[in-house]
Amino acid sequence: MTWSRHLSILLGTFAGLVLGLVAFVLAMNPYGNLPSTVLSQHMMMDDNQRYQYPSVVRSGRYDSLIIGTSTSRLIDPKPFEAAFGGRFANVALNSGTAWEQTELVKLFLRHQPKPHALVVGIDWVWCAQNADRERITFRGFPEWMYDDNPWNDLTYILNTRAIEISARRLASAAGWASARLPPNGWEIFTPPERDYDLAKAQVKIYGAGPRVLPKPKEPADSLSAGEREGLKMPALGWLEEMIAKGSWQRVVLMLPPVHVMAQPRPGSRAALEEAECKTRISRIAAKHRIPVVDFRFGSEITTRDENYWDPLHYRVAIAERIAKGVVEAVTTRRDGGDGTWRLLQARE
């Protein structure tokens, strides 16, 4: 056999392998973003939310969203469906920037002609002064998944990750594996409650320092009117645009309750800047007549270590209290009787 024949066989085998892998990935449609699939309903076989949640918002199965960072991920959509109507998906992103969250909602609005409700978990990312410069994290962001051209996605399908997830999708179709994320995106991502260890949680909350709550700064910092007006918070413009362009039947803004150790020290400049951000959020809410439910302050929830796994992530029982509090705030137009939440803007 000649060398040219050997080369032809080698190249033909390689081309066949590549074409076979392309056909396999196309058939499995691992991210639910390709033009067609041989399987019925997409299943999320990867826990990289930035790659999987586009399939959720494109699916047409949901007309309502919960968005935010990981501080909103534990919130079960069911209480909101019962109180507000609609079919909710929770697509809160781990360490999701304001820009990433905005892109996800934009994609949803392009595929859902009749959006019903939006619940936004307002975390520090919406107040960040560099939100327009630091739009993504080290995790990356697949912008090609968030446009309306499915064909340009084909250039990204032949890689080891897509092949791996395609294999998982095949395994799920055969009944050998279960989905990594449920269809509506909501999951209890924290460890099992039976494994909770307060001492370990306190190490994460306080670090190597003493286990005492922060005292107000003395003397307290101050911000002049000019300094307050000069604070750039570009993401709030995206927030207002997202609210205004959605034709939503209901919008609720919610500030999740991180532990006080993750909040700015009272009396500090950071606390004043956060207060200014809350003021601006309240103005946006007043303009569009929507409620803002604030859990982000010192309370029975945020000062009790046993409510948290770490400074940011509360336990399942707290997630249930948050959902109940949001519903009560919207329906009663009053602050929480237990002092754990405040209604910053109650008009609709």
Q: Which domains does the chain have, with CATH numbers?
A: 46-148+179-345 (3.40.50.1110)
Cα angle 190, 193, 195 (rounded to 5 degrees) comes to: 95
**pLDDT of 348:** 41
Provide, rounded to the nearest whole percent, the portion of the chain with pLDDT above 70: 91
Of the CA atoms within 13 Å of residue 45, those in its CB half-sphere come to 25
pTM over 0.75: yes
Helix axes 98-111 and 49-58, enclosed angle (nearest 10):
30
Task: Name the pairing type of β-strands 88-90 and 64-67.
Answer: parallel
The neighbouring-strand residues paired with 65 are 89, 118
Taking a C-beta distance cutoff of 8 angstroms, is the pair 47, 295 a contact? no
Rounded to a whole number of angstroms, the CA Rg of the chain reads 23
**pLDDT of 347:** 42
The residue ranges of the chain whose pLDDT is under 70 are 1, 5-9, 11-16, 18, 20-22, 24, 35-37, 40, 345-348
**pLDDT of 155:** 76
Taking a C-beta distance cutoff of 8 angstroms, is the pair 107, 143 a contact? no
Could you report the per-residue pLDDT of 307-331, keeping only the tens digit for each? Answer: 999 999 999 999 999 999 999 999 9
**pLDDT of 15:** 61
Q: Which residue has 């207060």 as its token pair?
A: 275
What does the block give as tokens for 243? 């609210």
Helix, strand, or coil (residue 179): coil
